[in-house]
Amino acid sequence: MLAVALSVIFFVAYTAIFPPAEPENLEANKKTEQSIALKQDSSTQVKTSSGTSSTVEQTTGHSISEVEKYGASDTNTILTVTNKDFILKIDTLGRISSKELLQAKFNTKEDGHAQLIPSTGMKPLYIRFVDEILNNEAMRVAYTSSVSDIALDGEAQKITLTQKLSTITVIKEITFYTDGHYDAKVSLSQDKRYFMYLGQRPKVNETEQMMVAVGVLVYTDDELLTIIEDGDAEGRKTFTGVELIASFDQYNASVMYGFEKDTNIIIERDRDDNPVAYFDGRQNTTFSGYVGPKEYKVLKNIKPVLTNVIEYGWFTFASQPLFALLSWLHGIFGNWGWSIIALTLLIRAVLYPLTYKGMVSMQKIKEISPKIKELQAKHKSDPQRMNAAVMDMYKKHNANPLGGCLPMLLQIPVFFAIYRVLLNAVELQGAPWMLWITDLSRMDDYYILPLLMGASMFFQQRLTPNNFTDPMQEKVFKYLPVIFTFFFLTFPSGLVLYWFVNNLFSIAQQFVVNQQFKNAKEAEIAVSDHAHKIEHKEMEKEKLESKKSKKSTGKEDD
């Protein structure tokens, strides 16, 4: 298991650091496929999540590059929404073309303000008509706004966007709130079929962490969460009974929710096999949206169902309560670093019986390992007899060879759960701990924590008993601290802090167990010595009595 895990980690890291070069003609092929995919008209029969069949007729009309020529620059901005925490802009196509986070804790690695709307790709609130002629006209006619600037200073504010086409008029009434969410009502003067886009996912940081999902998620009213990650989109999928849809990265998301139950939500792939989400609009459509960081408290205050945007993968069942506990500890300590340390201590306390049992079992194995090696050498030509003899040795000394493994296996879900919590918690962004750690969501620029973690892991190895019979296994085990230190160099400081503190508690616990075994051994030796002394005294007494008996017998004979 260790060898497999190390192999996977090595190849994932190697591929990330040294990506394979693409063939020269691959880019040309992509462009050709993209041109075909974006310009074709299709009428496809799809299955909705409720099991009913519906026909989705789609005419793309224009490629993404043609849409983007209208751009999102200041010259095409018709509305600017300002707030102490963000600046949001809407362009001439009636889309949210830009949202800039002003809080320093959300800054990019280059210390620039985080921009949540990518410069290319579909953007939130973009409307695409099925009628190609109408859609072409809508691409050329600009929206107008009831106001050009609004400032959110506590009260929600409503604006109206209007697009007057030759045959219909489109009106978007949008109410903006200080927490980053909005309510939207879209009205058409005539009933024309169109699609409303969620927009591309935020791309604040180009390099994503390992085990971080990015893409689109759909949460339905039967509490089913469907995630389609970037690069994995295949064909078209349709959902109904949807509570929310979100395009998301590690810390941010663009979300739409509040749909009518029979609204068709459609996920389709783009040129790079990334998912693109949109829904089937009506003549009068109302919904709500949010573009911003995935902060738990903010999302919960807007609408509790939005907290499902914070995705923990398979370990959500354990990660959600762990994050709730971490947030509660933060309310006590007021610092995320100390909260992580306190959480680690609580987890170790809960798992103490398991880890203690495993450590005791490993100590027993260590004590009898010389005898096991003798048996293996003695019966090396007869494997069956050797295994039987080894098992008898285990039974004789009440030692379980799996005793040290099973407790660790039970701990693995907890380790992965806390890993996912610390990896996805946007609350750690800009959160300081100690003097040199100014952001727990970023790597330690001075490499102090990773080096301390590696040193603690090395010291833990020295304390932990082992019973390696293969020299190669023993060498690999000795190099583990170096390997883990290398991987942890670029990990977020919050994760490294958790692992380092976890190692410290393991060292303390192993020291206690080792000391207990040492004391027990000394007590056993003392008892054995005492027994030998008593036995020696008894023997001396018997000798004296025997001599006395012989003397008395001799006198009687005389």
324 and 279 both lie in a single domain: no
Distances (CA, A) of 164 to 48, 94, 155, 280, 423: 34, 12, 30, 21, 47
Residue 197 in any domain: the answer is yes
Determine the Cα–Cα distance for residues 2 and 477; give it in Å rounded to an integer: 9
92 and 111 both lie in a single domain: yes
Q: How many CB atoms lie within 10 A of CB 22?
A: 9
Domain boundary among 277, 311, 345: 311
Residue 323 in any domain: the answer is yes
The confidence score (pLDDT) of residue 370 equals 79
More confident residue, 483 or 80: 80
Residue 251, pLDDT > 70, answer yes
Domain boundary among 250, 284, 311: 311
Determine the Cα–Cα distance for residues 480 and 465; give it in Å rounded to an integer: 15
Residue 17 in any domain: the answer is no
Q: What CATH number should be reported for the domain holding residue 50? A: 2.70.98.90
Residue 277 in any domain: the answer is yes
Q: How many CB atoms lie within 10 A of CB 366?
A: 17
Summarised one tens digit per residue, pLDDT across range 259-274 is: 999 999 999 998 889 9
Summarised one tens digit per residue, pLDDT across range 394-434 is: 888 777 776 666 666 767 778 788 888 888 899 999 899 98
- Expressed as residue numbers, the domain containing 295 is 42-311
Residue 208, pLDDT > 60, answer no
Q: Are 302 and 179 in contact (CB under 8 A)?
A: yes
Determine the Cα–Cα distance for residues 476 and 540; give it in Å rounded to an integer: 56
The edge-to-edge listing of strands for the beta sheet with 86-91 is 114-115, 96-101, 86-91, 77-82, 149-151
Residue 322, pLDDT > 60, answer yes
> Taking the CA atoms of the chain, what radius of gyration do you get in angstroms?
34
Determine the Cα–Cα distance for residues 439 and 494; give it in Å rounded to an integer: 8
Q: What are the start-end ranges of the H helices in 50-144?
A: 64-68, 132-140
More confident residue, 164 or 64: 164
285 and 398 both lie in a single domain: no
Q: Name the pairing type of β-strands 149-151 and 77-82.
A: parallel
Determine the Cα–Cα distance for residues 412 and 406; give it in Å rounded to an integer: 10
Nearest to 501 by CA among 487, 5, 509: 509
- Name the least confident of 92-106, 150-164, 520-534: 520-534
305 and 329 both lie in a single domain: no
Name the token pair of 512: 């206690």
Kindly give, in sequence order, each residue whose CB lies less than 8 Å from that of residue 335, ignoring residues fewer than 6 positions away: 431, 432, 433
Determine the Cα–Cα distance for residues 371 and 155; give it in Å rounded to an integer: 78
Q: What is the mean pLDDT of residues 430-450?
A: 91
211 and 301 both lie in a single domain: yes
The confidence score (pLDDT) of residue 351 equals 84
Residue 521, pLDDT > 90, answer no
Residue 41, pLDDT > 60, answer no
The confidence score (pLDDT) of residue 493 equals 92
Q: Are 259 and 282 in contact (CB under 8 A)?
A: no
| Mean pLDDT taken over the chain | 82
Q: Are 81 and 70 in contact (CB under 8 A)?
A: no
Summarised one tens digit per residue, pLDDT across range 110-134 is: 888 999 999 888 999 999 999 999 9
The confidence score (pLDDT) of residue 12 equals 55
Q: What is the mean pLDDT of residues 198-207?
A: 84
189 and 331 both lie in a single domain: no
The confidence score (pLDDT) of residue 118 equals 92
307 and 340 both lie in a single domain: no
Tallying the residues shown for the chain, one arrives at 558
Residue 522 in any domain: the answer is no
Residue 2 binned pLDDT confidence (cut-offs 50, 70, 90): low
Q: What is the dihedral of CA 505, 511, 513, 515, to 10 degrees?
A: -150
Residue 9 binned pLDDT confidence (cut-offs 50, 70, 90): low
Residue 240, pLDDT > 80, answer yes
Residue 55 binned pLDDT confidence (cut-offs 50, 70, 90): very low
Residue 376 binned pLDDT confidence (cut-offs 50, 70, 90): confident
Residue 24 in any domain: the answer is no
Q: How many domains are there within the chain?
A: 2
Q: Three-state SS for 17?
A: helix
| Residue entry with tokens 């459609």 | 266
Residue 23 in any domain: the answer is no
Residue 294 binned pLDDT confidence (cut-offs 50, 70, 90): very high
425 and 512 both lie in a single domain: yes
Summarised one tens digit per residue, pLDDT across range 226-239 is: 999 999 998 899 99
242 and 361 both lie in a single domain: no
Q: What is the mean pLDDT of residues 73-93?
A: 89
500 and 474 both lie in a single domain: yes
Residue 16, pLDDT > 50, answer yes
Summarised one tens digit per residue, pLDDT across range 455-497 is: 999 998 888 766 565 667 677 778 888 988 998 898 889 989 9
266 and 379 both lie in a single domain: no
* CB-side neighbour CA atoms (13 Å) of 298: 19
Domain boundary among 268, 287, 311: 311
147 and 108 both lie in a single domain: yes
Residue 3 in any domain: the answer is no
